[in-house]
Structure 1
Amino acid sequence: MHETPEMATGRALDDLSRLLFGPLHRSDQQRWGHVYLQGLLRTHGKKTVRRMAATVTGSEATSSSLHQFVNASPWEWAPVRGRLAHWATRSLPVRSWTLAPTVLPKRGDHSPGVHQRFLPEPGRTVNCQLGLGLFLNTGQAHLPVDWRLFLPPRFLQDPAVRDRAKIPATARPQSLGDHALHLVQEMTSWTDGETAPVVADLTTLCDIAPLARRLQGSGHSFVLAIPGQTAIGGAELPPGERPSARALLARHGVRHPAGAGRGIISYETTVHGLRPSGENTRGPGRLLAEWDADAGRPGRIWLTNITDRHPAELLELARSPQGARSAVRRMGEDFGLLDFEGRSFPGWHRHMTLVSAAYTCGLLEGMSPDI
């Protein structure tokens, strides 16, 4: 499925806009939310507020109202995201909650969260913001429903910088793993406790072990990519004596045919957890990877606490980060993900909320859900 923004019908736009913005207290906020969505969907090329205003209203003068709506109008983004997530989970077959990092290149150093970061894939350092999104994997698409913005220390420790970016007093230093856990917890609150497996590949960005422990301790199922050198074993063994995940799979893994000449290898292990109370727990888990026949070793390795599904099904879930990354690319190319005009923390979150809604709206006709 590869829809274009123009495929979003007027009915889909009206219905989704009503669902998301109807509960806003002010009629002008409801109206500008609808106009902003129209602009993201119908404006070709860069989605500046001036170009969106001209496309939707025929007048560039209304751009100030759109700018005000995103950067200064006092509406909360979390309830809007919650309504989007609640609708999606009730209307679509959600297979997993996929966490996907999103690098947003920026110029200058005033945008909230902007910092220098080395990116392994292109092999270079960029000036950027780092966001983390939670996507609902429906099998047909990956729908973005929630976001977190990583804030380097200077945005939290310097009062002047913090005030200029309008970062709330409640914001505290958090690792990317902390942000990931927050996204899962918030999503759980929106779905009244109904969950789906959490899938993520954050190996180049953070230590995944604390996230795995906290998900296990909270009762969430997960499929998480881990580095091959990750030491596996209980606390009774010194770190230097614990075998690596790659060594365990290579020496003791069980092979599973997966069709089309593919093979999967798995190893039963123990997953350690940390409950919110601080109590340590443990439960059954599994290492798994697709076997790289050419290299004669496991490929990317995943740790999961799901032991009642065939490894092939789990590896299919493990591919969902690729779908989420594709969604991020399309959001940048066609839905204005990279076109935020503003330097405030609230503005960033409102823009990401609106882009998520526009992207979902652009896919509605292909999925034919009932809003």
Structure 2
Amino acid sequence: MSFEPGGVRARDEAALRDRPAREARPPRLGRPRSATAELFSSLSRRDQRVRGEHYLHGLLLADGRKSVRNIALSLGRPDEEQRLHHFICGSTWDWAPMRAAHAGFLDRVCPPQAWVLNAVTIPKDGEHTVGVGRFLDPQAGRYVGGQRAFGAWYASTALSAPVNWKLFMPRHWIDDEALRGRADIPSTVTYESMEQCAADTVLQAARDWRVPPRPVLMDLRADADWQSARRLAAGGLPVVARIAAANRFIVDDPALSRSDRWPMSAAGILDSAKFSRRSVEWADPGGSGGTHTSWVAAVQVRVAGPGLGHHRPLVLLGEWRHGQDSPAQVWVSDLADTAPADLLKLTKLTRKVALDRSLGADRTGAADFVGRSFCGWHRHMTLASAAHTLRLLALQGGR
């Protein structure tokens, strides 16, 4: 089965940007038996499949923000705007089978090595867009107004793509009946904490698609209680989590001359294990190219109370780059039997996701939905994720 980016691959990106909207034509994304046809196979009506292909093509062609108007103009079909808007926000098609088809395609052509749980803050104001609230943005280090969403990415060194999404819904969006009605939030949607929402993005997909229990890479530096990681571990998914150096553990490693029985900071534990560091060469999947060398130390630890892997052996992993006295990154995982070199290379998939997000999802409309429709947001994100994959395959020359 092929997945042909067709016209997108055949055109130079600069030419696409400069091409007048009235001359734009939808790229040919493959033969009828292609994965694009599979993507839309869950749509029972032909007119829905046509609208789906138009919307997907427009996400690839439209300049700037991927509004419905810009999508219609990029296709040379300005009269399609209302029909496309209804297809996304007013129709009844289920996005779940389409996400499963997208994941199934990636499973066949580029099997993922891990999940990467990616948190996204989308700055927005007011209540004209579903899910808007005020959140602490860990990267910005301040409170911002906007949406908080979580993407579950299939990740390998060759390709990464978001295959499932959840939108955190602040309590007032759930409890306010008028607001809930205007956003057309289904009755099955109840309030979840941000940590529940994050973990369920992966757990829901892994359960519904019955995929093997792949490791989940995630960032816990801003999650003091590790609630999302505990939910993933309880669901049978191995966790590889980046943590703050101040997090505390009890050393439980027979390889050390002394194992302390009181909690120590991760930084302190790794500092005492410097003598055991080993060099590891790794190829950067994040775009810088070439081979890099890091120094790595791994220590068996356990947590003092409830936390990630409370009943499992854990490994604390520190990575140093040349000339550093303190670890550049600190990770903890319940993959205690995995060789430290292999564990380090697995963490580098987060670099691949960061690169592919900048090349794909950030350019195919993942942050561009505006509107109160909860279902509309999910349909838009489903198609934006498929467009992400198409775009990356086009940049790679197709598969």
Give TM-score scaled by structure 1 length. Answer: 0.86
Measure how far apart 1:255 and its partner are.
Answer: 1.3
Question: CA 1:77/1:196 → structure 2, altered by over 3 Å: closer, same or farther?
Answer: same
2:80 to 56, 62, 67: 62
Q: Are the counterparts in 1 of residues 149 and 165 from structure 2 also a CA contact under 8 Å? A: yes
Per-residue displacement from partner, 1:51-80 (whole Å, max 9, x unpaired)? 221222x23121000000000100111111
Map 1:161-310; keep pairs closer than 5 Å. 161-204=179-222, 206-207=223-224, 209-233=226-250, 241-252=262-273, 254-259=276-281, 262-270=294-302, 282-291=311-320, 294-310=323-339
Measure how far apart 1:13 and its partner are.
Answer: 8.2
Q: Are the counterparts in 1 of residues 216 and 240 from structure 2 also a CA contact under 8 Å? A: yes
**Once superposed, what is the RMSD of the aligned Cα atoms?**
2.9
Where structure 1 has 5 or more consecutive residues not aligned to the other structure, the ranges are 235-239
The secondary structure found in structure 2 opposite 1:215 is: helix
* In structure 2, C-alpha distance between the alignment counterparts of 1:52 and 1:368, rounded to whole Å: 23
1:327 aligns with 2:363: no
Q: Are the counterparts in 1 of residues 136 and 142 from structure 2 also a CA contact under 8 Å? A: yes
Per-residue displacement from partner, 1:334-368 (whole Å, max 9, x unpaired)? 21222223221111111100100111112234274
Measure how far apart 1:5 and its partner are.
Answer: 8.7
2:389 aligns to what? 360
* In structure 2, C-alpha distance between the alignment counterparts of 1:282 and 1:272, rounded to whole Å: 11
1:126 aligns to what? 144
Q: Are the counterparts in 2 of residues 213 and 272 from structure 1 also a CA contact under 8 Å? A: no
* In structure 2, C-alpha distance between the alignment counterparts of 1:39 and 1:121, rounded to whole Å: 31
Question: CA 1:158/1:310 → structure 2, altered by over 3 Å: closer, same or farther?
Answer: same
Per-residue displacement from partner, 1:239-260 (whole Å, max 9, x unpaired)? x952222222222463122245
Measure how far apart 1:211 and its partner are.
Answer: 2.9
Question: CA 1:261/1:134 → structure 2, altered by over 3 Å: closer, same or farther?
Answer: closer
* In structure 2, C-alpha distance between the alignment counterparts of 1:243 and 1:274, rounded to whole Å: 16
Q: Which protein has greater RCO, CA pairs closer than 8 Å, 6+ apart?
A: 1
1:237 aligns to what? none
Range that drifts further, 225-234 or 40-49:
225-234
* In structure 1, C-alpha distance between the alignment counterparts of 2:178 and 2:200, rounded to whole Å: 27
1:351 aligns to what? 380
Measure how far apart 1:146 and its partner are.
Answer: 0.3
Q: Are the counterparts in 2 of residues 20 and 80 from structure 1 also a CA contact under 8 Å? A: yes
Aligned length: 356
* In structure 1, C-alpha distance between the alignment counterparts of 2:64 and 2:220, rounded to whole Å: 31
The secondary structure found in structure 1 opposite 2:43 is: coil
Q: Are the counterparts in 1 of residues 7 and 28 from structure 2 also a CA contact under 8 Å? A: no
Q: Are the counterparts in 1 of residues 249 and 264 from structure 2 also a CA contact under 8 Å? A: yes
Measure how far apart 1:114 and its partner are.
Answer: 0.8
Per-residue displacement from partner, 1:270-298 (whole Å, max 9, x unpaired)? 379999xxxx9612220002125645222
Q: Percent identity between the aligned chains?
A: 32
Q: Are the counterparts in 1 of residues 249 and 304 from structure 2 also a CA contact under 8 Å? A: no
2:8 aligns to what? 6
Q: Are the counterparts in 1 of residues 277 and 295 from structure 2 also a CA contact under 8 Å? A: yes
Letter of the 2:53 partner, please give it.
H
* In structure 2, C-alpha distance between the alignment counterparts of 1:283 and 1:202, rounded to whole Å: 18
Question: CA 1:183/1:285 → structure 2, altered by over 3 Å: closer, same or farther?
Answer: same
The secondary structure found in structure 2 opposite 1:37 is: helix
Measure how far apart 1:96 and its partner are.
Answer: 0.8
Question: CA 1:269/1:83 → structure 2, altered by over 3 Å: closer, same or farther?
Answer: same
The secondary structure found in structure 1 opposite 2:379 is: helix
